[in-house]
Amino acid sequence: MAVLADVQKRLQQAQELLHEAIDLSLQQFMSGQADKQTLAREWSGFVGDFFGYIKSKSKETKQNLLTWIHFPNS
């Protein structure tokens, strides 16, 4: 159970950091401190790396990790 608690804690921390990054990105865009293309490049790099890592680990472990993720229908 301690392992699951560690996973939950790390996912919560990651979620908080992502929320902060989204809020900061929007704040910088809305205030004119950053342009949409620059922010899009940063986010595209991050999301591409994230999904690339999932794909790599899926191949390595022969587990389709994307099947672990379910998106709500909202």
Residue 6 pLDDT class (50, 70, 90 cuts):
very high
Q: Which of 33, 34, 32 is nearest to 42 (CA)?
A: 34
* Cα–Cα distance, 67 to 61 (Å, whole number): 14
Amino acid at 25: S
Q: What is the pTM of this model?
A: 0.84
Per residue in 27-69, pLDDT tens? 999 999 999 999 999 999 999 999 999 999 999 999 999 999 9
Write down the domain spans for the chain. Answer: 1-34, 35-65
Under 8 Å between Cβ of 53 and 65 = no
